Chains A and B, each alone.
Chain A
Amino acid sequence: MVEKMKDVDDKMLEALFASEPLPDNGFSEKIVGRIRRELWLRRLTLPTAVVVGGLIAVKPLLGLAGALLNLASLVPQRLVEQTAGAIPSMPTVVLGAMLLVVCLVGARGLED
């Protein structure tokens, strides 16, 4: 009996709270448009930052490269020949890089 009476209350409240469905009238398009604009902005942000940063950095980088060339010309030829033997050969560098890649892939496999 109480349940039945509760239903009457609930029906009264449901009728009171009921609303007509609201027409979309461009509401969804407006939001989708905003989302698409945001997506484009996000996609453009990194390339734009790289280009702007590159333009800003190009002059100091050229200056730095020039200074390094001048510095290299000051190093005695005898010293260059002595240190050349300490630099690893190309096959050693390639082997090291391959080992690094294998380790990274293995580590990722272990994590998964």
Chain B
Amino acid sequence: MSERDDQELVARVVSLQDTAAFGELIRRHQSQVRNFLRKLAGDFSVADDLAQDCFLHAWNKLDTFSGSGSFIGWLLKVAYTTFLQSKRKSKRYAEILESAGRVADLEQRTHTAANEETGDLDRFLAVLEEDERAIMVMSYACGLSHREIGDATDLPVGTVKSIIFRGKEKIRNTFDIQDHKHG
């Protein structure tokens, strides 16, 4: 599976409206997109619904993919936009945040996680702001470069780097992790 293969599939989808080629693109990238959204949304079923919406948006907007960056970078941008739009629409989310605050949000995220092993990660993610969370996940879970993250979030590379640095500091300070800089 290479970036070139992805671009050939994209070309087939755009020029021929080839649904089989788009199905292959989904098969290749669904795991990364769903894992990304699961870490952002915290709820697995919500994340999978968002992933479906993301791929439907991607189908409709595929002609806007310029091919200059990686396809997964572009796809995660669509996923992040889908997540933000969904969150804006969801009054319930705002009500939960207002009434229960971030502590309850943390508890909820920990309880709704189906996999016990993700408990630590949920606690780490809960101390991050939303943009920090998205960027840290793109960087450490999806393996995107700083430039790709910048493209996905419409932020300059320098801002991406500083957000990652800030996120790491927050995690280190909140959980009292030994600073490796001092051995």
Contact = CB atoms under 8 A, between A and B. Distances in A.
Interface residues of B, number: 33
A21 B34 CA distance: 10
Interface stretch (B24-32, B77-85, B86-94): B24-32
Main secondary structure of the interface of B (DSSP, over half): helix
Given A19-B35, A27-B30, A10 B140 contact: yes
B95 interface: no
Contacts of B52: 27, 30-31, 34
B180 A17 contact: no
Interface centre among B20, B30, B136 (most CB of A within 10 A): B30
Interface in A16-52: 16-19, 21-24, 27-32, 34-36, 39
Contacts of A81: none
Interface of B: 17, 19-20, 22-23, 26-27, 30-31, 34-35, 38-39, 48, 51-52, 55-56, 59, 120-121, 124, 136-137, 140-141, 168, 171-172, 177, 180-181, 183
